[in-house]
Structure 1
Amino acid sequence: MTASAEPPVDPQGARPAPLSGLVLVSTPIGNLGDTTSRGRQALETSDLILCEDTRRTGALLSALGIRARTETLHDHNEDSKIPAVLARLRDGQTVSVVSDAGTPLVSDPGYRLVRSAIAEGLPVTATPGPNAAVMALTLSGLPPLPFLFLGFPPQKAAARRTAFSALRAAERAGLRTTMIWHEAPHRLRETLADLRAVFGNRQAAVARELTKRFETVERGLLDTLCGHYAREEPRGEITVLIGPAGDEDVEDLDSRLRDALASQSVKDAATIVAQVTGLPRKIVYARALELSKA
């Protein structure tokens, strides 16, 4: 009689338990070798795999030698899918959620499904793995903490500049963080130009095709990056990062507020400085309140 094989033991002596319920499975962002053993196990044992594109996920499953039922899950059908998925979970089935690449829910569908499962007390777990934003951050040479991941910037120029201006206003009120966006290659030049116009000529990085054959990370001032991509056609999956604001951004706002607070209430000081600087009143008021308490 042949004994069944023992599951592998990790360095801490813990045996991998079978995953069940709703499982968020991170998939490679380019290099198939980045598939984790737990992620593979989850996909192999799933009764159903929900994915953005069945063809793309099908290619991944085929490369891994996995046969499993797949169905689409995207922004347009997520709400209609939720009741049937919850019914499967109540019956004890395992349902995995994957994105086209990387960590599910981060710039991808699935959030509403996860919230619904949590609300019903159904099991939800995940297998961690590749994430383009975090990898780009660690390779950028920019301060790693704190960082703010913002998904894709708005596609239209006016909306994009408005979004960037709101972040710039938050910096003047005290926000200091490395900011990260994903961007499509055909919009990279415009986005870099808008970042330069709104945030100034600060340190930045553009990470491209991470984990793939032509992986590159361009680092430097925004002026340098704008010039580089004016000469070179952007291609592939792209992540853009800019470094945190300098001390002068906070000091300028604070000095105006302190002058106003010397003779005005917090409310009136915030109103006056907001009018002068053009910053959102809520942001200015919050900073004025902090200074008044200090």
Structure 2
Amino acid sequence: MESQPKHQTPTGQLFVVATPIGNLGDITYRAVETLKNVDLIAAEDTRTSRKLLQHCGISTPMIAVHEHNEEYAAGKLLQRLQQGESIALISDAGTPLISDPGYRLVRKLRSEGIRITPIPGASSVLTALCAAGLPTDHFRFEGFLPRSGASRSTAMQRVAESSETNVILESPRRLLSSLKNLQPLLEEVRELVVARELTKLHEEFISGTVAELIAHFSEHAPRGEIVLIVAPCLPKVRGEIHDEDIHALLETAVMQALPPSARAKSVAKELGVSKSRVYDLITGQ
């Protein structure tokens, strides 16, 4: 007699399972039990996930589902789910889909009537926020910023103008570059927090102005995974805005990277003046 799948039902379900972001002890009891009892684990990187599974005594088979094969894999997983199997989706660390693959898979399966069950747990975003000491009643998750071009400039401007706390994921190689890009856009006294190596042995929270953080990380090369948190912009008290004020903002590196119309819109919003006035100064009218 053939063995039956562990979760034989008319239609299987997908479990979206959060895993630790560093400390393996942070995995939940429910996550372990789920990973043990599903028929298959869809992992972003099976080599990375194997360490966690071995630590927890989990022998469930795995397949790789990542950004390069997600659409193809979705069809294969759907077939197995429709046959009554249950599958767990995990990323390399933290909660799947949060700056990780999985969105296309979950969307397709939901459209096919497959039950999606979240198994909550660790998240670098919330872990950093709860210990940073910055406002948490409203916050914006920016994920990883674009690496270059106008889209990066637009994202930087969005962070600078935000009245909410902004949470950014960053690599140690690009942290200094991002801080230097933000410097001309932020108020001198605006607070930022760099959280790195969260839940690990060398966990560290460093807060200060953008100038202070640039000075610190110029002397101490950042290491490990990083979450950068930027406090909300300060309330602005405006007096008369002169053309010189507009020109000064137009000449910043971030603004120079934008096309004329976008520059006019961004500067007008920042200084509280009309877009047409700014555009006239750009075009020399």
Q: Structures share a fold, TM > 0.5? A: yes
Match of residue 127, structure 1, among 119, 129, 148? 119
Structure 1 pair 46/275, CA: closer, same or farther in 2 (3 Å)? closer
Partner of 1:47: 39
Distance 2:200 2:263 in 1: 45
Q: Aligned partners of 1:243 and 1:109: how far apart in 2?
A: 28
Cα 1:161–1:64, aligned 2, differ >3 Å: closer, same or farther?
same
In 2, Cα distance between the equivalents of 1:222 and 1:128?
A: 33
- Could you report, residue by residue, the CA deviation over 1:198-230 in whole angstroms, capped at 9, with x for unpaired residues? 233310000000000000000111111111101
Contact 2:43–2:63 (CA under 8 A) maintained in structure 1? yes
Residue of 176, 179, 185 corresponding to 2:166 = 179
Distance 1:67 1:122 in 2: 25
Determine if contact 2:40/2:88 at 8 Å carries over to the other structure: yes
Partner amino acid, structure 2, of 1:176: S
User: SS of 1:181's equivalent?
Assistant: strand
Distance 1:247 1:281, change over 3 A: closer
Partner of 2:230: 242
Matches within 5 A, 1:78-227: 78-156=70-148, 159-168=151-160, 171=161, 175-201=162-188, 202-227=190-215
TM-superposed CA distance for 1:275, in Å, is 7.5
Q: Distance in 1 between matches of 2:83 and 2:229?
A: 44
Report SS of the residue matched to 1:133.
Answer: helix
Residues 83-103 of structure 1: CA distance to partner in whole angstroms, max 9, x if unpaired? 111111111211111010000
Runs of at least 5 residues in structure 2 that lack an aligned partner in the other structure: 1-11, 242-259, 275-285
Instruction: Tell me how far 1:166 sits from its aligned partner.
Output: 3.8
Deviation at 1:279, TM superposition (A): 2.1
Structure 2 residue aligned with 1:278: 264
1:197 CA drift (Å): 2.1
CA distance in 1, matches of 2:124, 2:227: 7
Answer yes or no: is the 8 Å Cα contact 2:42–2:63 preserved in 1.
Answer: yes
Q: 1:21 aligns with which of 6, 13, 21?
A: 13
Q: Distance in 1 between matches of 2:38 and 2:32?
A: 10
**Is the 1:161–1:198 contact (alpha carbons within 8 Å) kept by the matching residues of 2?**
no
Query: What is the CA–CA distance in structure 2 between the aligned matches of 1:54 and 1:118, rounded to whole Å?
Result: 24
Q: Residues of 1 paired with 2:64 and 2:205: CA distance?
A: 33
Superposition deviation, residue 130 in structure 1: 0.5
- Measured after TM superposition, the shift of residue 139 of structure 1 is 1.1
Question: Contact (CA 8 Å) 2:187, 2:234: kept in 1 or not?
Answer: no
Assess if the C-alpha contact under 8 Å between 2:167 and 2:228 holds in 1.
yes
- Counterpart CA distance in 1 for 2:171 and 2:262 is 36
- Conserved 8 A contact 1:150-1:181: yes
CA contact (8 A) 2:43 2:89 kept: yes
Letter of the structure 2 residue corresponding to residue 127 of structure 1? I
1:233 aligns with 2:225: no
Query: Residues 228 and 157 of structure 1: is their aligned pair in 2 closer, same or farther, counting only changes over 3 Å?
Result: farther
CA distance in 1, matches of 2:180, 2:129: 21
* Superposition TM-score, scaled by structure 1 size: 0.76
What CA distance in whole angstroms lies between the structure 2 residues aligned with 1:165 and 1:214?
32
Runs of 4+ in 1 over 4 A off after TM superposition: 274-277, 280-284
Unpaired segments of 5 or more residues in structure 1?
1-19, 256-273, 289-294
Shift of residue 157, structure 1, vs aligned partner: 6.3
